Amino acid sequence: MKKRIVACLLISTVLMTGCADISLSKGAKEDQEEKSEDSKDQEETDTEGKEKDEVSSDEADKEIEDEASAKASDMASEDDSSDEGDSDGSDQSSKNNTDSEFGPEEGLYDRTYLVKEGDGYIYRLEDEDIIKEYDELYADAFQETYDSYEDYKDMMEEGRGEFDNDGSSDYALVDEKKDFGIDGFGLLDPEALDDGTSKMGSFYEMDYDFDLANVGYTYVDLNSDGIFELIFGIVNGDEWTPTTIFERVYTLIDNKPVHIFEGGSRCYLWLGDDGSIYETGSGGAAYWGMWRYHFDPSQVAPEGTDWGGEGFVADEFLGMWEEYVHIEGEDAQEPDDTAQKSEYKISDDEYETLSEEWEARVVDIDWLLMSDYLEDH
């Protein structure tokens, strides 16, 4: 009995040991499988992470590439725009003479359109937009200029003979100042002269020889306020009437042309390269000279003028008023009232020096043609 019990105990022990081994082996296998699955899961996780990292990296790289591409595109656009701007600016600069060393300045005329030529300057307005705009705005002024030509032509024909084929004449009425209410200088009677001819008119039509093809015009902003004035001059001049002068001027008041200057062979304006407007005038051997002006439209009368100037304010006078004088400031406006002041008297040498300085400032003018205007309009 004891042996059976021992045997049973031995068998039980063996069985328990076998069962334990089997359990341990099964547990180890399960652990291994779990570890294998964990490892697989980890590998899958690592792979997914790696793939995500790679995707993120690719996306980041793509974003960087897109940003770089966009930036390059923007820079290219800016370059193209800059090139276009430079090209347009160059064309516009050439067109408008904006390569000038000058520009608009308060109290001076706008010198944007001054071009250096040789030792001096020429005023050359070529901006087609400005010309077209102001051709329309000043239509009434062009009509007045044409009507004035017809009126004076009729006056001359009625007074003396026929006009030559070129529209010019050496004949004129005597005392046209009295007959036509013009505050200017009378014309000489040809019959009173030994040679029988005279061309000493003091009005614009006489100076351009009654030939509209000899009339030039252009637009100048006389006070740099953005509004261009219309000036008329002579295309083919001579010693007495050079191409640098202008004798008829209009400005715009409420977008309507107003006549602000009318001159003649003894009274005309010119532009200085210093930005000032100059007048050369003569009242006889003892009274003549040059005025330096600035233009003030606030002093223009709404009705304008038929002779002389409106809105031209004198800053200096240089010339002969019984003696050589140089007058500055407000006193320069009317030398009749101020020339006798001792502080304004100068010597002959002083006059010559100043006169040369002033005359060296004369600006030539590249005129637009009245004949072209008439043909276009």
Measured in residues, the chain has a length of 377
DSSP 273: T
- Nearest of 82, 102, 140 to residue 275 by alpha carbon: 102
Q: Which residue in the block uniquely carries the two structure tokens 């897109």?
A: 66
In the predicted structure, residue 31 carries a pLDDT above the cut 80: no
In tens, the pLDDT along 78-92 reads 444 444 444 443 343
At residue 287 the predicted structure's pLDDT band, cuts being 50, 70 and 90, is very high
- Nearest of 129, 109, 132 to residue 121 by alpha carbon: 109
The larger pLDDT score, comparing residue 60 to residue 108, is at: 108
In the predicted structure, residue 23 carries a pLDDT above the cut 70: no
Do the Cβ atoms of 146 and 212 come closer than 8 Å? Answer: yes
Domain regions of the chain by residue span: 114-376
The larger pLDDT score, comparing residue 115 to residue 190, is at: 115
Which structure tokens are listed for 155? 């006056």
The larger pLDDT score, comparing residue 140 to residue 106, is at: 140
pTM of the model: 0.66
Give the chain's count of helices (H) and strands (E).
8, 14
- Nearest of 112, 106, 107, 123 to residue 313 by alpha carbon: 107
User: For the range 150-159, what are the long-range contacts, defined as Cβ-Cβ under 8 Å and sequence gap of 24 or more?
Assistant: 152/203, 152/205, 152/206, 152/210, 153/205, 153/210, 155/180, 156/210
Burial class (CB in 10 A: 0-12, 13-18, 19+), 361: middle
Which structure tokens are listed for 11? 């068998």
